[in-house]
């Protein structure tokens, strides 16, 4: 009777074989409930001695619609273990490849690039330039810290290849330039309130007290508002001398806009900006250009209070205040506290990040982003290639990130790093992507 097997429909034989295998498995388990088939190849032998091989399936990837031994067909939609592993490996390789730019960080063309702007990130930038050029000797790369406003002015006038700025470009600046630009976050820092007081190594200041100082309501160091926050600290009967920037400054923009955010009295003065109107509050501060200029003023005069980038305070061993954050904690401007200020939230397409007044209880409240501004279309392909590889390296590679951390700067969050990479890939030269 088995001689008639050759005339049977092959589909019927496959279905019969699968049904027999399922019945054998269910009988062996002593249960009529369908169980996932292990990730091995199952061989079913027919009554005629013909072997049918069932597709190997994994327990996780198999869906089985099984019926009773009455003969209803069992179907399986399966993904093999090998295919799953290959897909995972491919995805991991793609993710790893995206961390470095196409072609890596090596620049082969002889290129000269110049930039100017913010002094806020200047300590990190100067070290980065040395390190990048050391492995790319064909590149001449310079950056001059002249202040954010002066840097943007030079860039939009076409005098430099890129600008550094702690303040985001204004709509008027972007419109006057007439061409698309990109703003690339480079690192995170903090504006601190540094001071010069004998014997005072720890000082706490709340936004309310800081607002009172910068609106002329608190003028002496032993004022009751300051004393209330600093129990056990001997504060001198000394006038507070305020040191501020005299130039168009991103650091001033960060600090004064934070003041306007936390102090209704200061906000009412409409004094915030890159050149704040301190006199609107009746103040008569001493002024100096750039972060290092204000740092010098603080160091040389007892009783001085000034806002500077944290790395300048650290490099000069100048104490600075713990500032009360929205969670009610007095926080030091450590790398960890700066990083906490940038965690969470969405990353806008224009990369205009806001990191002040974070709700994170560990965050320092006057944190700041600093940007490099470049054209979206760069005429010289060699220049474009060099500047993009530098920007990618500085924001993504562990070596420059660790260098910056030692100087007091915090790395960009992963979500921001991801957005920076995708943004750099959009830069073109002659209408074609530069990195591809």
Buried b (16+ CB within 10 A) or exposed e, 185-212: bbbbbbbbbbbbbeebeebbbbbebbbb
pLDDT of residue 402: 97
What is the pLDDT averaged over residues 337-361? 94
CB 309 within 8 A of CB 119: yes
User: Residue 242 and residue 8: Cα distance in Å, rounded?
Assistant: 98
Among 204-218, 281-295, 341-355, 365-379, the minimum mean pLDDT is found in 341-355
What pLDDT does 185 receive? Answer: 98
Do residues 110 and 117 lie in contact, with contact meaning Cβ atoms separated by under 8 Å?
no
User: Among 349, 356, 334, 370, which Cα is nearest to 415's?
Assistant: 349
CB 97 within 8 A of CB 77: no
Q: Which of 97, 123, 152 finishes a domain?
A: 97
Residue 349 located in a structural domain: no
Clarify whether residues 166 and 199 are in a common domain.
no
Structure tokens at 63: 């869906």
pLDDT digits (tens, 9 = 90+) for 156-181: 999 999 999 999 999 999 999 999 99
What is the rounded average pLDDT of the residues 67-80? 36
The answer to whether 122 touches 142, Cβ cutoff 8 Å, is: no
Strand 241-245 and strand 432-433: the pairing is unpaired
In a 13 Å sphere around the CA of 77, the CA atoms on its Cβ side amount to: 2
Same domain, 201 and 310: yes
pLDDT higher than 60, residue 97:
no
Domain boundary among 42, 64, 97: 97
**414-424 and 381-396 helices cross at what angle (nearest 10)?**
170
Cβ–Cβ under 8 Å, residues 87 and 115: no
In the block, which residue shows the tokens 């002329």? 216
- Mark whether 197 and 248 lie in a shared domain: yes
pLDDT band of residue 20 (cuts 50, 70, 90) is very low
Q: What single-letter DSSP state applies at residue 271?
A: -
Q: Do 201 and 270 belong to one domain?
A: yes
Question: How many distinct structural domains can be found in the chain?
Answer: 3
Report yes or no on 306 lying in a domain.
Answer: yes
Report how far residue 318's alpha carbon sits from residue 368's, in angstroms, rounded to the nearest whole number.
20
Dihedral sign, CA of 330, 336, 340, 342? positive
CB under 8 A, 24+ apart: contacts of 330-337: 330/204, 331/362, 331/363, 331/364, 331/365, 332/364, 333/190, 333/192, 333/364, 333/366, 333/367, 333/408, 334/364, 335/405, 335/408, 335/409, 335/410, 336/362, 336/410, 337/190, 337/362, 337/363, 337/364, 337/367
Convert the pLDDT of each residue in 181-204 to its tens digit. Answer: 999 999 999 999 999 999 999 999
Same-domain check for residues 198 and 290? yes
Output the six-digit token pair for 185: 């976050």
Residue 398 clears pLDDT 60, i.e. is over it: yes
357 within some domain? no
* Residue 68 confidence class, pLDDT cut points 50, 70, 90: very low
Q: What is the pLDDT of residue 99?
A: 84
Answer whether residue 346 is part of any domain. no
The whole-number pLDDT of residue 200 equals 98
DSSP of 321-361 = -EEE-TTS-EE---HHHHHHHT-SS---TT-----TT-S-T
Mean pLDDT for the stretch of residues 5-18: 40
Shared domain for 221 and 297, answered yes or no, is: yes
The domain boundary residue, chosen from 301, 324, 341: 341
Q: Tell me, yes or no, whether 69 and 162 share the same domain.
A: no
Say if residue 63's pLDDT is above 80.
no
Instruction: Please determine, for residue 13, whether its predicted confidence score (pLDDT) is greater than 70.
Output: no
Are 276 and 315 within one domain? yes
Work out whether the CA dihedral 132, 137, 140, 142 comes out positive or negative.
positive
User: CB of 259 within 8 A of CB of 299?
Assistant: no
Predicted local distance difference test score (pLDDT) of residue 226: 98
Three-state DSSP string of 38-76? CCCCEEEECCCCCEEEECCCCCCCCEEECCCCCCCCCEE
Confidence of residue 119 (pLDDT cuts 50, 70, 90): very high
- pLDDT for 346: 85
Shared-domain flag, residues 217 and 235: yes
Q: pLDDT for 294-329, tens place per residue?
A: 999 999 999 999 999 999 999 999 999 999 999 999
CATH at residue 260: 3.40.190.10
The answer to whether residue 336 is domain-embedded is yes
Kindly tell me if the per-residue pLDDT of 88 is higher than 50: no
Coil, helix or strand for 393? Answer: helix
pLDDT exceeds cutoff 50 at 257: yes
**pLDDT tens-place string over residues 203-255:** 999 999 999 999 999 999 999 999 999 999 999 999 999 999 999 999 999 99
Q: For residue 30, what pLDDT is reported?
A: 40
**Counting every residue, how long is the chain?**
436
Do 51 and 122 fall into the same domain? Answer: no
- Of the chain, the percentage scoring pLDDT greater than 70 comes to 78
Do 307 and 234 share a structural domain? yes
- Residue 348 lies inside a defined structural domain of this protein: no
Confidence bin at 81 (pLDDT 50/70/90): very low
Dist. CA 59–CA 61, nearest whole Å: 6
- List the domain range (segments joined by +) for residue 136: 111-186+373-433
Position 358 in a domain? no
What is the average pLDDT value for the chain, to the nearest integer? 83
**pLDDT band, very low/low/confident/very high, at 344 (cuts 50, 70, 90):** confident
My answer on whether 329 and 220 are in the same domain is yes
Phi, psi (rounded to 5 degrees) for 266? -70, -40
Residue 310 pLDDT = 97
**Is residue 162 in a domain?**
yes
Residue 78 has pLDDT above 90, yes or no: no
Compute the distance between CA of residue 368 and CA of residue 359 in angstroms, rounded to an integer: 15
User: Are 153 and 170 contacting, i.e. CB atoms less than 8 angstroms apart?
Assistant: no
């Amino acid at each position: 009777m088995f001689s008639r097997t050759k005339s049977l429909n092959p589909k019927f034989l496959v279905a019969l074989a699968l049904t027999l295998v399922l019945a054998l498995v269910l009988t062996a388990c002593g249960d009529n409930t369908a169980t996932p088939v292990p990730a091995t190849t199952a061989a079913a032998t027919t009554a005629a001695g013909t072997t049918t091989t069932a597709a190997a399936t994994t327990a996780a990837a198999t869906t089985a619609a099984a019926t009773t031994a009455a003969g209803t067909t069992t179907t399986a939609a399966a993904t093999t273990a090998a295919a799953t592993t290959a897909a995972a490996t491919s995805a991991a390789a793609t993710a790893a490849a995206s961390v470095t730019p196409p072609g890596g960080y090596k620049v082969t063309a002889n290129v000269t690039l110049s930039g100017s702007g913010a002094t806020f990130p200047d300590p990190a930038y100067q070290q980065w330039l040395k390190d990048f050029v050391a492995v790319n000797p064909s590149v001449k790369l310079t950056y001059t810290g002249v202040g954010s406003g002066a840097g943007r002015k030079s860039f939009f006038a076409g005098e430099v290849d890129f600008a550094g700025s702690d303040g985001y470009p204004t709509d008027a600046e972007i419109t006057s330039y007439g061409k698309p630009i990109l703003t690339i976050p480079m690192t995170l820092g903090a504006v601190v309130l540094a001071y010069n007081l004998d014997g005072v190594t720890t000082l706490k200041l709340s936004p309310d007290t800081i607002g009172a100082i910068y609106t002329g309501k608190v003028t002496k160091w032993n004022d009751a508002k300051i004393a209330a926050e600093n129990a056990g600290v001997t504060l001198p009967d000394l006038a507070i001398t305020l040191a501020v920037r005299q130039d168009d400054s991103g650091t001033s923009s960060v600090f004064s806009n934070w003041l306007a955010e936390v102090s209704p009295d200061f906000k009412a003065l409409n004094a915030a900006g890159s050149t704040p109107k301190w006199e609107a509050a009746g103040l008569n501060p001493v002024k100096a250009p750039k972060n290092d200029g204000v740092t010098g003023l603080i160091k040389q005069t007892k009783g001085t209070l000034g806002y500077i980038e944290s790395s300048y305070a650290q490099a000069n061993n100048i104490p600075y205040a713990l500032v009360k954050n929205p969670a009610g904690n007095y926080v030091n401007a450590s790398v960890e506290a700066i990083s906490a200020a940038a965690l969470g939230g969405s990353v806008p397409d224009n990369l205009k990040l806001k990191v002040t007044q974070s709700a994170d209880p560990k965050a320092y409240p006057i944190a700041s982003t600093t940007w490099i501004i470049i054209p979206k279309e760069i005429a010289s392909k060699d220049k474009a290639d060099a500047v993009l590889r530098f920007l990618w390296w500085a924001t993504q590679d562990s070596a420059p990130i660790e260098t910056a951390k030692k100087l007091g700067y915090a790395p960009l969050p992963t979500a921001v790093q991801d957005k920076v990479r995708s943004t750099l890939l959009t830069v073109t030269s002659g209408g074609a992507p530069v990195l591809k």
